Structure 1
Amino acid sequence: MIDLLNKLTQTYGPSGNEELVREVIMNEIKEYVDEIDIDPLGNLIARKKGDGKKLMFAAHMDEIGLIVTYIDKEGFLRFSNVGGVSQYYSLFQRVKFKNGIIGILGYEEKIEEMKDLKIEKMYIDIGAKSREEAEKLVNIGDVACFAGDFHYNLNKVSSKALDDRLGCYMLIEVIKALKNHSNDLYFVFTVQEELGLRGAKTSAFSVSPDYAIAVDVTDTGDTPGSKPMALKLGRGPAIKVKDNSIITHPFVRTLMIDTAKETGIPYQLEVLERGGTDSGAIHLTKGGIPSGVLSIATRYIHSPAEMVDFDDVKNGIALLTAIAAKEI
């Protein structure tokens, strides 16, 4: 199980460049589903047929990244962010391009105060001595992602891109675990979530489910100096009540809570004051789709070293599997 999560997180896949991640997922699930489709935007939609309610699960394949906007005469790369890149998490980190080229994020002047850090004053150093040398390796429009290694110790996983390869991993495991179910199940691995929930909008429109559940990461309140928040690592998967993009539908939220209680799976309730997930787009599709979210408490989101407790992941998989198998 851990090896698959390692593979998913370490696969290159910034927003708009999800094809390698999609290939990994497709190879993992093709023997366990009845249908697989790739829609025009690049979402991977897998179906396990049933005669009951149409239920959609969604997790996004993309990760945040840096897009090259200019190469100066000394060979340094200027860039813009693709998604929510933090200047505080980025400074002096390694980044990786699709062709394997590694760069270091530097800063153009001496840093006096961390609060004054600005993305526009950063550059990527790939070791080139000139624009001509750099252009042999990297072009305008190429996108890099963080190069954060995968580690597992003390039952904690840390890596880049747990947001949201973790959700993809969980859905893969649910697909493999499901044996008997009456619901008509759609597992959607979406694109471009980090740029505004774009893949969720189109896939929800085409699937048109009766209910939907997004699977993603969320913040915690269990580190020194963190803003008070009810969520902690190791206390179970989180059932969302509200974030900045959705107030979850009472029916779906109650379904998730009741199923957790019936199966004895520990859970937490989540109120996230900022941010959102694919459910924010799904629930506003067509005439409205009742939607909820299962979240995994994660430290250091959008950094090269996000961290989760693997027990939360396993309990999240068990809860999703029970929901998918439950007659709605």
Structure 2
Amino acid sequence: MQPTDIELLKTLCGIFAPSGNESALTEFLIDYVKTNQSKWKVRPELIYGDEFQDCLILKFGKPRASIFAHIDTIGFSVRYENQLVPIGGPEAETGYKLVGYDAMGPIECKLKEEEGHLFYDFGRGIESGTDLVFKSDFRESDEFVQSCYLDNRLGVFSALKVAETLEDGLIIFSCWEEHGGGTVPYLCKWMYEHYQVKQALVSDITWITEGVSHGNGVVVSLRDSSVPRRTFVNKILALAEESGVPYQIEVERSGGSDGREIQLSPYPIDWCFVGAPEDHVHSPDEKVHKDDIKAMVSLYQHLMKKL
């Protein structure tokens, strides 16, 4: 990865955007595209506004396929007194540093876990309803990057790198994925009714397991808690083999992504999850191999050209 790529990923990981509170990242993405699109092969049309809430769509040429990448993260909401409620499914260990802001100013506090209940440790009370996220601590070694929120800022990063050379396609940045979803149905409706696009790739991050390891390539998922149509998945596997890009196959019984909502939509849209694997999921220490990031971007470039 180039130093500029590392800086972009580091910046993305540090932007405050828990589920339901994604607007800061949406604004960053709009500014980023407007600033950099003159260097891309095709300048996309930017589609956003009240009818899309905090989602953003980039339309390139004549779309035949789409990339979905969710921009939200897990986190915590302040309840009453010093109580916390999870946003999504974050790991919660005593001592984790959390940041946010309320009407009284910026916040940096510590998480406390006591018998399954979550609290914050701070020098003053925090306004109820305030969102908190893990404090960013981005680390890089020769082989790995490690940070909170590589899930899914790495999926967003990959989509932005694909945008540099994409000629025909849609890149769709969705919201709320970590906490039940909700934006993908209307995004599918718009995509299908405007462009009849019936092919979707989910640019997200998966897990290191007994069958998936660091440094062996991007993961093509055959299933998680949802089961995509095998005809389409076989098409993706054939293109992955053709590309020469290192990849791994995943078969899981749990977990999910925007693919679930695509499958539940009333439109005949095929989907497949394609993403790098990480360790220490949903913690401040998520860890991904640089070679797997490179493979993720390369395979997406090939798939979007061929689909």
Judge same fold: TM > 0.5, yes or no.
yes
> 1:176 — aligned with what?
164
> 1:230 — aligned with what?
211
Answering whether residue 83 of structure 2 is matched by residue 78 of structure 1, we say: yes
Match of 1:217 among 205, 212, 234: 205
AA aligned opposite 1:190: S
For 1:292 and 1:35, locate their aligned partners in 2 and report how far apart those are by CA, in whole Å.
25
For 1:287 and 1:24, locate their aligned partners in 2 and report how far apart those are by CA, in whole Å.
31
For 1:4 and 1:217, locate their aligned partners in 2 and report how far apart those are by CA, in whole Å.
17
AA aligned opposite 1:79: L
Query: Following TM superposition, by how much is the alpha carbon of 1:107 offset from its aligned partner in structure 2, in angstroms?
Result: 4.3
For 2:268 and 2:177, locate their aligned partners in 1 and report how far apart those are by CA, in whole Å.
19
The equivalences for 1:144-293 within 5 A come to 144-178=132-166, 181=167, 183=168, 185-208=169-192, 209-221=197-209, 229-244=210-225, 246-293=226-273
> 2:76 — aligned with what?
66
Query: Following TM superposition, by how much is the alpha carbon of 1:287 offset from its aligned partner in structure 2, in angstroms?
Result: 3.1
1:198 aligns to what SS in structure 2? coil
1:259 aligns to what SS in structure 2? helix
Query: Following TM superposition, by how much is the alpha carbon of 1:40 offset from its aligned partner in structure 2, in angstroms?
Result: 3.2
> 2:94 — aligned with what?
91
AA aligned opposite 1:19: S
Instruction: Give the number of the structure whose alpha-carbon radius of gyration is greater.
Output: 1
> 1:111 — aligned with what?
none
Q: Provide the identity percentage.
A: 26
> 1:309 — aligned with what?
289
* Cα root mean square deviation, aligned: 1.6
Match of 1:123 among 102, 119, 124: 119
For 1:210 and 1:141, locate their aligned partners in 2 and report how far apart those are by CA, in whole Å.
39
For 2:6 and 2:278, locate their aligned partners in 1 and report how far apart those are by CA, in whole Å.
17
Match of 2:109 among 90, 103, 111: 103
Using the TM superposition, name which of 38-47 and 311-320 deviates more.
Answer: 38-47
2:256 aligns to what SS in structure 1? coil
For 1:175 and 1:40, locate their aligned partners in 2 and report how far apart those are by CA, in whole Å.
20
For 1:259 and 1:58, locate their aligned partners in 2 and report how far apart those are by CA, in whole Å.
19
> 2:304 — aligned with what?
324
| Residues 11-37 of structure 1: per-residue CA shift (max 9 Å, x gap) | 111001111111222222232542112
1:167 aligns to what SS in structure 2? helix
> CA separation of 1:236/1:107 partners in 2, compared to 1, >3 Å: closer, same or farther?
closer
Match of 2:53 among 37, 41, 51: 41
Match of 1:57 among 50, 53, 67: 67
| Residues 222-271 of structure 1: per-residue CA shift (max 9 Å, x gap) | xxxxxxx2100100000010001x21222332232222222210100011
| Aligned partners of 1:14 and 1:64 also within 8 Å | yes
Query: Following TM superposition, by how much is the alpha carbon of 1:321 offset from its aligned partner in structure 2, in angstroms?
Result: 0.7
> CA separation of 1:139/1:291 partners in 2, compared to 1, >3 Å: closer, same or farther?
same
| Aligned partners of 1:25 and 1:172 also within 8 Å | no
> 2:274 — aligned with what?
294
| Aligned partners of 2:198 and 2:268 also within 8 Å | no
Give 4+ residue runs of structure 1 displaced > 3 Å after superposition. Answer: none
For 1:93 and 1:10, locate their aligned partners in 2 and report how far apart those are by CA, in whole Å.
16
TM-score with structure 2 setting the length: 0.89
Query: Following TM superposition, by how much is the alpha carbon of 1:85 offset from its aligned partner in structure 2, in angstroms?
Result: 2.1
2:204 aligns to what SS in structure 1? strand
2:170 aligns to what SS in structure 1? strand
| Aligned partners of 1:56 and 1:211 also within 8 Å | yes
| Aligned partners of 1:251 and 1:290 also within 8 Å | no
AA aligned opposite 1:92: G
1:321 aligns to what SS in structure 2? helix
> 1:74 — aligned with what?
none
Gaps of 5+ in 2: none
TM-score with structure 1 setting the length: 0.84
2:203 aligns to what SS in structure 1? strand
Query: Following TM superposition, by how much is the alpha carbon of 1:84 offset from its aligned partner in structure 2, in angstroms?
Result: 0.6
AA aligned opposite 1:233: H
> 2:9 — aligned with what?
5
